[in-house]
Structure 1
């Protein structure tokens, strides 16, 4: 009986340790490129694919905002302010149920000191194998390098529309 209790205790401890063990995401935020790539990769996946929301939250500064902007049906320009957690709450299930892949197709980068601004043009697909994007837009991403890692401070984005096409300056050349 003591052996059985000891085995059960060891198994319980092992499972508990695995559940509380944190993944090492340091490579995901070591460079500007790895941070942006991780951002696009973590929200992308086919229908039914679970996202790594711990990695998603790791990319962002504790006071970061995600800010979509656009027009209402009445034509009013609006923006909505979300934390990474509220983005997960409002979009996470939809991403999993519908499938969503966002791919960066072009980028401009401006840096001063430890701050960087990235204009990242994207295309969105339902599956990895789709030939035609169902949506395009630009993510305006503000980042900070603290000497150790990159932090996303804000993402402010707008989807392309007939009234507001993506300018040639923010599309791939040739």
Structure 2
């Protein structure tokens, strides 16, 4: 099988974009999330869907920022860290999709094991750069384990 070097460049750019996303939403008491940079990662209003509940929680980037800032200002959220631990990215022309397995924690304590989840992310190449169009995520829980094929 021949590897298209342009595809490798695309995947490297998508890797960086995904890392920037996780960095933007992570925060602690001394450093707020990087919300000013978050919107720049998305095409248009963006679409973020938390599918962990009976009814999906549907956000634009702006409404996601507002919801999280409200929790921070109310003192309900003082720490959040999320990082990618495995991925699979497919690129076709100016579109891409990524299965991004992540781990996350609401506490800075390192003794507790971090929880995990899966984020399905769609990208487009527009205006000379890769941008996130949408993402949908679900966290791992009892009875719902991340497939081993996602962790390779």
TM-score, length of structure 2 as denominator length: 0.81
Structure 2 unmatched ranges of 5 or more: 1-11
Match of 2:14 among 8, 12, 32: 32
Alignment partners' CA distance in 1, 2:49 and 2:62: 13
Higher strand proportion: 2
Aligned residues: 138
Change (3 A) 1:113 1:94: same
Alignment of 1:87 with 2:64, yes or no, is: yes
Alignment of 1:1-174 (within 5 A): 31-72=13-54, 78-94=55-71, 97-127=77-107, 130-146=110-126, 148-171=128-151, 173=152
**1:45-74 alpha-carbon deviations (Å, 9 max, x no partner):** 2234212211001111113210111233xx
Distance of 2:71 and 2:113 partners within structure 1: 18
Q: 1:138 to 1:124 in 2, by over 3 A?
A: same
Unmatched 5+ stretches in structure 1: 1-29, 73-77
Relative to structure 1, the CA distance from residue 112 to residue 95 in structure 2 (aligned partners, 3 Å threshold; closer, same or farther) is farther
RMSD (Å) for aligned C-alpha atoms: 2.1
User: Given the two structures, how large is their TM-score scaled by the length of structure 1?
Assistant: 0.71
Contact 1:69 1:80 in 2 (8 A): yes
